[in-house]
Structure 1
Amino acid sequence: MSAAIRGRRNTVQKEAVRTALEEAAGFISAGRLHRRLNEEGSPVGLATVYRQLNALAESGYADTISGPGGQLFRACELDGHHHHLVCEACGKAVDIDPPDEEWISASADLHGFTVTRHVLEVFGRCAECSSR
């Protein structure tokens, strides 16, 4: 396969991964996204899905969290640092306000820490999944 064809295929696959992530209803695993792409007729390798999702996360176009089942991804708007309430069953996510910065700083000070960054994800079940 020529470099030009490889490059084109790579671009098509990148776009397919990005579009599928944008269409996902919440956080989704790379494996689940890979299955969805292939079921819909977009043959993309699992390694390519992982590579593209990680590139999207590094560039700020995707959120990534570690959930009970492993790493999950979600397309995000570039609105800065935020936190999530995530359904463990379906992956639905909503942005939430974190505890205030004073609480974070006070907790760190109490234990002799200097805060360099923080991550807050809250996991549970959404109303639809809880009623099932």
Structure 2
Amino acid sequence: MREALDGTDGFISAQALHSALHAGGSPIGLATVYRALGDLAASGDADSLQSPEGESLYRACSTGHHHHLICRSCGLTVEIGADEVEEWAGRQAAEHGFTRAAHVVDVFGFCAECSARLGG
């Protein structure tokens, strides 16, 4: 399944990946795709996020903690570091007595190309 994710651009839903695999001749079932993507996300081999519409999306992940800028139009995804976010999240957790805090930050907007096409 990791190889299938490596072949996609940006994030993809389990259903879209399943359709692409079937178009390529794979007999894999949709439930198996969901299970495999969930396992990849749990092990850190895939990024997982929810689209603004609430759909779970996946993509092959680079290593290390990171965040994303995601284009709402074309799906272009850029991995970013965010030291300020890391510091803020740690402070907020500590101020409220939380330990072992984790966070996910995904910023949705329009990439430069889509912004130009959409008129700003």
TM-score bucket (shorter structure): 0.7 to 0.9
Percent of paired sites with the same residue: 52
Higher helix fraction (1 or 2): 1
Name the SS for the 2:49 alignment partner. strand
Equivalent residues, number = 114
Residues 58/109 of structure 1: CA separation in 2 closer, same or farther (3 Å cut): closer
TM-score, normalised via structure 2 length: 0.80
TM-score, normalised via structure 1 length: 0.73
Number of the residue aligned with 1:95: 79
Number of the residue aligned with 2:57: 72
CA distance in 2, matches of 1:117, 1:34: 30
Name the SS for the 2:75 alignment partner. coil
Name the SS for the 1:123 alignment partner. strand
CA distance in 1, matches of 2:33, 2:49: 16
Contact 1:98 1:120 in 2 (8 A): no
CA distance in 1, matches of 2:50, 2:81: 19
Name the SS for the 1:26 alignment partner. coil
CA distance in 1, matches of 2:87, 2:13: 34
Gaps of 5+ in 2: none
Gaps of 5+ in 1: 1-16
Computing the radius of gyration from Cα coordinates, the structure with the larger value is 1
1:130 has 2:115 as partner: yes
1:52 has 2:36 as partner: yes
Structure 1 residue identity aligned to 2:67: H
Cα RMSD, aligned residues only: 2.0
Residues 129/46 of structure 1: CA separation in 2 closer, same or farther (3 Å cut): farther
